[in-house]
């Protein structure tokens, strides 16, 4: 890893630039400087050589990493200080998961703090009360925020910005809480009217058809508002399908931490199962690659694919 010299303003603007340049922007969850370096230098095979355009700072993975539930428990300044550490070794722009954004009056301060640190955008979800992760199964877990209150949060957040590049993206939770389609569309309209720079259509259904249907409708109504997908629950959908439905930004929201967690579980069990480290080594990266990381910007050579 090497120290990054990308200035906050340049990094902040890089998300809007990517959205205006690319037909499709993909970002990946990162939860540490190491995960950011890996994400930044990852490259797909084939002629398109896909790469990630940015990072997602997830409330779920930031919480899980510290052994905590995803209930808006973490202090935002603490999360921003972890983002600072990520920024010190990377160059890509970052979108922060802002949970509900907290109280309206607090959100204004959060917006300024994010902007100052070079965060490009925040996603806030239209829920209120005790926030729980949207993917949790079960009924009655979530409360929708009153529309007027959420709109005020958006408009006051926009007014609090010092510059024009920072984006406030409103996350529609209506499909999660079972709102009628028309109400989700009405809420989307109100949020755009209040100044939202983008809309997430969130869902925890394995069937993506409702999400795609809403995206087609919203794309028609608000062609200039980037639509955002978080396809954790419906991972078989392709980027091409999402793009055709009108999405411009896709968030791979928790895969880096889930991958690391599985590897850690496997390694810890293998050591116990075999009473030695040899079998655990098969699922570990070589120590030499870790040692070479301060100089080598691409420390991780990908494993052969099956």
Strand partners, 56: 29, 95
Using CB under 5 A as the binding rule, whether residue 32 contacts Mg ion is answered as no
Residue 72, sorted as left (phi over 0), alpha (psi -120 to 50) or beta, turns out to be left
Among Mg ion, ligand SPV, none, what binds residue 114 when CB lies within 5 to 8 Å by partner kind? none
- 207, 54, 167, 10: CA torsion to nearest 10: -170
Residue (4 or 177) nearer to Mg ion, CB: 177
Provide the token pair at 197.
Answer: 């720079």
Q: Which is nearer to ligand SPV, 166 or 234 (CB)?
A: 234
- Size of interface with Mg ion, in residues (CB under 5 A): 3
Query: 195 and 155 in contact (C-beta within 8 Å)?
Result: yes
If one asks whether residue 165 binds Mg ion (CB under 5 A), the answer comes out as: no
Residues 6+ apart with CB under 8 A from 221: 185, 188, 189
How crowded is residue 159: how many other Cβ atoms within 10 Å of its Cβ?
A: 10
59: contact with Mg ion by CB under 5 A: yes
Instruction: Check if 186 is active-site.
Output: no
Of 4 and 134, which has the nearer Cβ to ligand SPV?
A: 134
Q: Residue 129 CB: number of other CB atoms within 10 A?
A: 10
Tell me: does residue 97 bind Mg ion (CB under 5 A): yes
**135 interacts with, out of Mg ion, ligand SPV, none, CB within 5 to 8 A per kind:** ligand SPV
The contact set with ligand SPV (CB under 6 A) reads 58-60, 70, 97, 133-135, 230, 232, 253-254
Measured from the CB atom, is 70 or 197 closer to ligand SPV? 70
Radius of gyration of the chain (CA): 20
- Which is catalytic among the residues 62, 70, 97, 126? 70
Select the binding partner of residue 254 from Mg ion, ligand SPV, none (C-beta < 5 to 8 A, by kind).
ligand SPV
Residues within window 276-305 making contact with Mg ion, judged by CB under 5 A: none
CA 227 to CA 223: how far, in whole Å? 9
Residues marked active site are found at: 70
Which residues are near Mg ion by CB under 5 A? 59-60, 97
């Amino acid at each position: 890893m090497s120290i990054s010299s990308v200035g906050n303003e340049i990094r902040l603007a890089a998300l809007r630039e990517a959205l205006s340049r690319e037909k499709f922007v993909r970002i990946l969850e990162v939860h540490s400087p190491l995960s950011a370096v890996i994400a930044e230098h990852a490259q797909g095979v084939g002629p398109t050589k896909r790469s990630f355009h940015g990072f997602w700072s997830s409330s779920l993975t930031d919480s899980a990493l510290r052994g905590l539930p995803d209930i808006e428990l973490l202090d935002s300044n603490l999360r921003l200080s972890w983002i600072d550490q990520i920024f010190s070794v990377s160059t890509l722009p970052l979108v922060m998961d802002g949970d509900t954004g907290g109280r309206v009056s607090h959100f204004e301060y959060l917006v300024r703090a994010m902007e100052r640190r070079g965060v490009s955008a925040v996603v806030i979800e239209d829920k209120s009360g005790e926030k729980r992760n949207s993917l949790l199964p079960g009924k009655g877990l979530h409360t929708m925020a009153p529309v007027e209150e959420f709109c005020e949060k958006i408009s006051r957040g926009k007014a609090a910005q010092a510059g024009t590049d920072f984006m406030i993206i409103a996350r529609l939770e209506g499909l999660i809480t079972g709102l009628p389609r028309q109400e989700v569309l009405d809420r989307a309209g109100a949020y755009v009217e209040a100044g939202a720079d983008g809309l997430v259509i969130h869902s925890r259904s394995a069937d993506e058809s409702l999400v795609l249907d809403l995206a087609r409708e919203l794309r028609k109504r608000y062609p200039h508002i980037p639509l955002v997908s978080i396809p954790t629950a419906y991972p078989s959908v392709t980027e091409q399908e999402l793009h055709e439905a009108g999405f411009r930004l896709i968030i791979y929201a928790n895969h880096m931490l889930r991958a690391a967690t599985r590897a850690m579980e496997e390694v810890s069990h293998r050591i116990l199962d075999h009473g030695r480290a040899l079998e655990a080594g098969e699922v570990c990266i070589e120590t030499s690659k870790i040692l070479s990381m301060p100089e080598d910007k691409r420390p991780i050579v990908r494993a052969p694919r099956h």
